Chains A and B, each alone.
Chain A
């Protein structure tokens, strides 16, 4: 079932503008390999679920899958053939706001070739261009 928040302060949100690149959530933190978005946009809860199911087939039994994004934003729409006015529409779906550079999914415990194959299948389900990334080398104290 697609994800959605359990509690929210407001049911509806303004659309907003996705500006700039991801300054956080842009490193592979939990797994060994990740899928990074290269474009900005909204990633619907259904798309996240589709990615999860696709990746879960690949990692079943062996590896581990991490989902790094959550659909916090409600997207509203008005029904077809409705006259203008009468207020904002009803929430249609939930989406995650994605900036270029954000890590969407991570995989651990799989050989690189298998992880690459799995994340390529996930990338096919995403509404924007993505790329396969490795964990960054550990340097210094951090």
Chain B
């Protein structure tokens, strides 16, 4: 379980992309706090503090606004198109006795014997949607793959989740499996393109019309 981190925030004056860009240039990230049918507050948080918390898998933070402290969940991070910088962050108020929805990463542990048997490890599911107590969010879900043989699979329903945690992802979904590698044709034996050019759909139609 990740520790709770305290984030110092400031109330944001003014709106608009220009003001937000100025904030980002000053090393702060525009944010918003909402939830529990209380007032929605526009905030700004320190970039480094927030990113430190996010990188250490902290998902519930103590937000201090003008001397008042509130517990809030990091609900959404908006990234720039290169995924380098965070543009905006959404905080949602939570209480200690509340259960929240959260996405946590899946971590594979061990070496699957199926790989030695000639299989290939495939992990279709990298994150798991869970419902858990607000103050007890697991940093990751560990999946032991020591007993995973060729053609074997671990489904969501087979995961051992910490106490109080319920998976919301489809129970039949495959988390990790060992698949047989595809047999690739040896170089030179590939068909030399039965169709050098793709089939043109519109040409077919016009031909049919001309026949009529």
Residues in A lying within 8 Å of B, measured CB to CB: 1, 4-11, 21-23, 26-27, 32, 36, 38, 61-62, 64, 91, 100-101, 108-109, 133, 135-142
Contacts and interface: CB of A to CB of B under 8 A. Distances in A.
B147 interface: no
19 contacts: A1-B193, A7-B198, A7-B200, A9-B200, A21-B81, A27-B83, A61-B181, A64-B122, A91-B197, A101-B82, A108-B123, A109-B122, A137-B55, A139-B59, A139-B75, A139-B77, A140-B102, A141-B75, A142-B103
B115 interface: yes
B102 A22 contact: no
B6 interface: no
Contacts of A1: 190, 193
Nearest to B190: A1
B127 A138 contact: yes
Contacts of A22: 81
B121 interface: yes
Interface residues of B, number: 37
A140 B115 contact: no
B193 to A, nearest CB: 6
A101 B81 contact: yes
Interface of B: 54-55, 57, 59, 73-77, 79, 81-83, 90, 101-105, 115, 120-123, 126-127, 129, 181, 190, 193, 195, 197-202
B199 A139 contact: no
Contacts of B198: 4-8, 11
A140 B122 contact: no
B129 A141 contact: yes
A108 B190 CA distance: 27
Contact of B83 (A5, A7, A61, A133): A133
A26 B105 contact: no
B127 to A, nearest CB: 5
A64 to B, nearest CB: 6
B201 A141 contact: no
A8 B54 contact: no
